[in-house]
Homo-oligomer: A and B are copies of this chain.
Amino acid sequence: MQNLKSTKAEIELGNKLMPKFDENGLVAAIAQCAKTKDVLMIAYMNKEALDKTIETGLVHYWSRSRAELWLKGETSGQLQRLIELRVDCDQDAVLLLVEVGGDGGCCHVGFENCFYRSLSESNLEITGKKPLEPNCD
């Protein structure tokens, strides 16, 4: 974790993972399908969720609404297997390249990913697909 002694160079160019958790103890976590490069979702991780993700290779988030650790896919089967974890320049966000289990979906609304609507003129249009295959493409 970052502390008052962490220098800008250590944070931005160092080889040490030192996440900058916000005032709620969270970093943003973006999940991207490793195969299709579709952005699947954004959620948040506290230290425990990040540690568990790295240890187990299965993505864990912190559910802000339920205030609990959340193994993604535990009930739906839509597990996210971690292929690669990247961190951004100031280490307050991580990018998770994942392989999706179960039906290949991700979003509770039933689409392949959470970004299933695009702005067209001034309205949203559904452009996302429902999962058909047992992976995310």
Contact = CB atoms under 8 A, between A and B. Distances in A.
A95 B123 CA distance: 16
A114 to B, nearest CB: 4
A67 interface: no
Contacts of A95: 39, 115
Contacts of A37: 36-38
A106 to B, nearest CB: 10
Interface of A: 12-17, 28, 30, 32, 36-39, 41-42, 54, 84-89, 93, 95, 107-109, 111, 114-119, 122-127
Given A36-B37, A86-B119, 4 more contacts: A15-B125, A30-B30, A30-B42, A87-B115
